[in-house]
Amino acid sequence: MVKFLDLKKVTALHGDEILQAVSDIVNSGWYLQGEATRSFEKNYARFIGCRHAICVGNGLDALSLILRAMKETGRLLDDSEIIVPANTYIATILAITRNGLRPVLVEPLKDTLQIDHDGIRKAVTPKTGAIMIVHLYGRNAFTPEIEAICRETGIPLIEDNAQAHGCRFRDGRRTGSLGLAAGHSFYPGKNLGALGDAGAVTTDDDELADVIRALGNYGSHRKYEFRYKGVNSRIDEIQAAVLDVKLRHLDADNARRLEIARYYDTHISRRDIEIPRIMPAGENVYHIYPVLSPRRDELLAHLSSRGVGTIIHYPVPPHRQEATRNDFWAKGKSFPITEMIHSRELSLPISPAMTLEEAAEVADAVNSLPAS
Ligand SMILES: *Cc1c(COP(=O)(O)O)cnc(C)c1O
């Protein structure tokens, strides 16, 4: 039996250090906006390669506060358009709609599953305020072509790095440091996961960092003085301390994910199961190991009968959700590549706590799907 994700085992990998960190905070009597948060922010900023890391309540808030801060500083207008991949988790889109901005959905490429740069180019208008890329599944989505579009047009790049902590662009820079600002989620199941909700923004922009820090703390720069109508979006000291521990092991944990992934790459062989384009080691931190199959639902049932847990990322694309389907950017729109991915995608188990024996069990189970 192989679970899709055994979080208990993932935590146990660094269990002693985590328990010590939690107990230190409990005994310190200081639970918000203290030493642990400052320490993690400093270490995470250095890890990503940015001047600033600002911790917030979760990944959605991180993305949303970046856009809000861009509005507050006059870099986005009320009717600005934000270019975003059509195949993403809904949070990316909600960060845009929450700010009253206009999502402009762009299809991914079939082989990489990442936003198509030609599609971005065609979607640019005088109202484009930002290009938001998503390093979906842990795969770097940044390309020299996207870099060129941003350079030529002056449109800022924002990264959704919720699924790709530790990933790199081919020149060695980490995802999360490639644009104006990036949103990170530390939801427990992410590569760098807390024991609850948490998130962060990274940026090199001093002004943006300053505004985001205020916005997440009721809009206050100084105690009891409020420049903005802000929100309460902060990180617990306990979560910051846990993340500081796990950050030290992140590269090693991601290396373990890569080993599992390479096992699947070389041991899964079927004509009716497609593995998305394999990327150089550093450019994919394998948050998810997706495969595509026209027989997805059969494969899911077959794996389940063999005791292998899987999840679909994601069964319904954002533009087809009940919550959004009457929105102007979704209604009557069709995104065939996105819809194909959503109808064929299945995620196999992967985590730093998995063994190669378990990976073999999964690969055998996949390969034993009866021919149709
Ligand atoms: C998890 C996730 C988010 C949101 O993060 P939360 O911490 O759950 O708010 C945003 N974008 C993507 C791509 C994600 O996977």
Sheet holding 102-106, edge to edge: 52-56, 199-203, 181-185, 157-160, 128-134, 81-85, 102-106
Strand partners, 347: 290, 311
CA of 225 to the centre of ligand 1 (A): 31
pLDDT averaged over every residue in the chain: 97
The C-alpha atoms of residue 162 and residue 143 are separated, in whole angstroms, by: 18
Q: What H or E segment, with its residue span, contains residue 85?
A: strand 81-85
161/176 Cα distance (integer angstroms): 6
Q: What is the pTM of this model?
A: 0.98
Q: In this predicted structure, what is the pLDDT of residue 268?
A: 97
Distances (CA, A) of 197 to 179, 184, 194, 350: 25, 11, 7, 21
**CA-nearest residue, atom 2 of ligand 1:** 162
Q: Ligand 1, residue 88: give the atom nearest the CA.
A: 13
| Residue pLDDT, tens place only, 167-179 | 999 999 999 999 9
* Residue 163 beta carbon below 6 angstroms from any ligand 1 atom: yes
Ligand 1 center to 66 CA (angstroms): 14
* Residues 186-215: tens digit of each pLDDT: 999 999 999 999 999 999 999 999 999 999
Inter-axis angle of helices 35-48 and 15-28, nearest 10: 140
Please give the helix or strand (H or E) that residue 260 lies within, else none: helix 250-267
Q: Is the CB of 182 under 6 A from ligand 1?
A: no
Query: Could you tell me the distance, in angstroms and rounded to a whole number, from the CA of residue 35 to the centre of ligand 1?
Result: 26
- Which tokens is 52 given? 């600033």
